[in-house]
Amino acid sequence: MFCNMAAETMDSAVLTSDIEYLAKLGLWDFFAGKTILITGATGMLGAYLALSAIEVNRTRGCAIRLLLLGRDRRKAASLFGERECEMLIQDVRAPLATDQAVNCVFHAAGPVGPSVFGSDPEEVLSVNIEGTFSLLRYAIRHDCECFALASTHEVYGAADGERDETSPLFPLDSLEPRSCYVLAKQSAENALSCYHKKYGLRALSARLSRLYGPLMNLESGLFVCDFMKDILSCQPVRVRGGMNLLRPLCYVADAAAAMLFAAVFGKGGFAYNVQGRELPSIGEIAGNIARIGCRHAMFDHPETKNLPPHGHWLNTDRLKNLGWKQTVGLSEGMGKTLSFLMREKKKEAAI
């Protein structure tokens, strides 16, 4: 079992099993003796990648040099403590506080969730675009081998049906502030393609479906987070919108594995869809979480239950061809997540 982690949250069996699974992937051999920069290291996805790399070094002696970038000093100390990594506490838009050569960048930094999309769209746009360009310039100066961006399924816009990486991106209203996230991610993906073409940088993106799992930010305003908060507050799981909206998900450990597969085997200038195989509606997800949490679900618009499903989902064949596969199904992932969160709540109450 992985050990010597500083945070109280790090003794969770759920998190331990996830990190041990990721650390056993043979993909890490590609990074042996190299330097990896992980941005957004105090966020859910970035933390999973960072903790896994630390465990790989501990158990397999891969001698991966880790540069971890994040803005939350307290959370960084809680997650990583005195582990063998260098923590850069800074804004991703600023010049990096180091001049070390970097072999691979995992760019997972950026605000996510309706709460920030509504309250500070300028921050969303700026961090994603300026931060990506700043990192790309650094990568070129230091002869980086690979640049992997954590992008989003939202780049497809308000589409219906299955989307593969060649599907058209639906137009957005550029004068609508809520478009900030989608337009920023589209721009970041385009920047990667431009740097690949001009400089030969093997830059690629992972178009992630809605992620969930331990360490997720419950204040983000994302519907899964709100459902989990309902359970933790001993309230019914409430769906305020239509029950028939399709909301495919991906457990964070599978998403972290997808980032590794893309970084090791992916082609520069390409995007790779990342999603679990289930295609649940938001009503089904709410019911699932309610059952696991021994509560009941509440629907403001129950009449929408039998309406035709509405929304898009991702074709993941391109990623599967690299060797990736889903390992955590929806019910299992929800159970793992809720178990972790309930345990954390009990620990907080005991303090």
Residue 2's SS3 state is coil
Structure confidence at residue 285 (pLDDT): 98
Strand partners, 250: 211
Strand partners, 158: none
Structure confidence at residue 11 (pLDDT): 56
Chain centre distance of CA 301: 30
220 assigned to some structural domain: no
151 assigned to some structural domain: yes
Residue 26's SS3 state is helix
106 assigned to some structural domain: yes
- Domain span at residue 51 reads 8-212+250-277+311-328
82 assigned to some structural domain: yes
Q: What is the DSSP string of 72-116?
A: -HHHHHHHHTT-SSEEEES-TTSPPS-----SEEEE--S--SHHH
Model confidence pLDDT, tens digit, residues 138-167:
999 998 999 999 999 999 999 999 999 999
195 assigned to some structural domain: yes
265 assigned to some structural domain: yes
64 assigned to some structural domain: yes
Structure confidence at residue 211 (pLDDT): 97
Model confidence pLDDT, tens digit, residues 223-262:
999 999 999 999 999 999 999 999 999 999 999 999 999 9
CATH label of the domain that carries residue 168: 3.40.50.720
Residue 195's SS3 state is helix
231 assigned to some structural domain: no
Distances (CA, A) of 350 to 27, 214, 219, 230: 40, 20, 22, 20
The helix (H) or strand (E) run that includes residue 288 is helix 282-292
Low-confidence ranges of the chain (pLDDT < 70): 1-11, 82-83, 351
Structure confidence at residue 115 (pLDDT): 87
Number of Cβ within 10 Å of residue 90's Cβ equals 14
Name the burial class of residue 295, with classes exposed (0-12), middle (13-18) and buried (19+) by CB atoms within 10 angstroms of its CB: middle
Q: What is the number of structural domains in the chain?
A: 1
